[in-house]
Amino acid sequence: MVAKLWKSVALGASMAAALALSPASAKEWKTVVIGMEGGYDPWNLTDSSGKIVGFEVDLANDICKRAGVECKIIAQDWDGMIPGLKAGKFDVIMDGMSITEERQKEIDFSKPYAAPPAAFMAAKDSPIAKALGAGKVVNAAKDPKAGEAAVKAIQAALKGKSIGVQSSTTHANFANKYLKDVATVKEYKTTDDRDLDLKAGRIDVGLDDYPTVAATLDKPDAKDFVIVGPEFIGDVFGVGEGMGLRKSDADLTAKFNKALDEAFADGSVKKYSLKWFKIDTTP
């Protein structure tokens, strides 16, 4: 009798496990909640009506439609992105987040949907602008020697100066890896806070991705500033920006990768990039 009882329990446990692993019990994605800052122009920004718009909003709506799910976009502070995702506050991060090895230890990523270079901005009449000039794009991954030379030029120009970066970003990683021994690295919660200090002369140079720097320089109060020095791809900047997802949601990652492939194939990603960035940032 006891043997039969244990056999029944074991059978029940096996059936429960099988059901848990069956496709029928997989999560049905009808609505996907996407977290963005709503303050990272032109990736995503909040307009005068309080609505979040931008490159990633257009792209999110496009790929959600292709994937057959409804998109719901919510605002989330940058420093709470990964904790919020892992806690289930939202399902996807879309906030110009670079795909890096460190982040991949915590979360999964879709394929990259953008790969713009990082760029420095400084006052037009500053010694930094005079020393570095306009510069060019340097792919440190493909040409390490060119990357090393570009870093040395930056280090020489910024000796004794101050650089502003947003906290917990690849730009902060770059500044702390290469510049903290020659310059003062100041980290900010938001890019707006950094830009205010740059325009007020409290820091000498800012570092961000090219589209964000270009958007800052398009504003009337930034007419005295310019992009300076080399623009970096590779190294700490990773392979590009992608959607951040929980490791447990591999099915959703697959859905969005398929949708991204379609959006790349018909030129939609390039179209949104040209609309918001004025350059083609497709990887």
Q: What percent of the chain has pLDDT over 90?
A: 88
How far from the centroid of its chain's Cα atoms is residue 198's Cα? 22
Domains and CATH numbers, the chain: 27-115+240-277 (3.40.190.10), 118-237 (3.40.190.10)
Specify whether the CB–CB gap between 79 and 169 falls below 8 A: no
How would you class 48 by CB atoms within 10 Å of its CB: exposed for 0-12, middle for 13-18, buried for 19 or more? exposed
Predicted confidence (pLDDT) per residue in 47-71, tens digit? 999 999 999 999 999 999 999 999 9
Q: CA–CA separation, 116 vs 167, rounded Å? A: 19
136 within 8 A of 153, measured Cβ to Cβ: no
> In angstroms, rounded to a whole number, what is the distance separating the alpha carbons of residues 33 and 127?
46
Report yes or no: 203 and 228 within 8 Å, Cβ to Cβ: no
Compute the 3-state secondary structure of the chain and give helix, strand, coil in percent, each to the nearest 5: 45, 20, 35
Span 191-213, pLDDT tens digits: 999 999 999 999 999 999 999 99
Q: How far is CA 134 from CA 96, 123, 185, in A?
A: 24, 12, 22
Q: Please count the other Cβ atoms lying within 10 Å of the Cβ belonging to residue 186.
A: 18
Specify whether the CB–CB gap between 186 and 171 falls below 8 A. no
Instruction: Give, in order, the Cα–Cα distances in Å from 118 to each of 106, 139, 208.
Output: 24, 10, 6
Is pLDDT of 224 > 80?
yes
Residue 226, classed as helix, strand or coil, is: strand
Asked if pLDDT for residue 18 goes beyond 90, the answer is no
Q: Which helix (H) or strand (E) holds 210?
A: helix 210-217
Taking the alpha carbons at both ends of the chain, their separation in whole angstroms is 65
Structure confidence by residue, pLDDT tens digits, 257-280: 999 999 999 999 999 999 999 999
Check: CB of residue 244 under 8 Å from CB of residue 93. yes
pLDDT of residue 26: 56
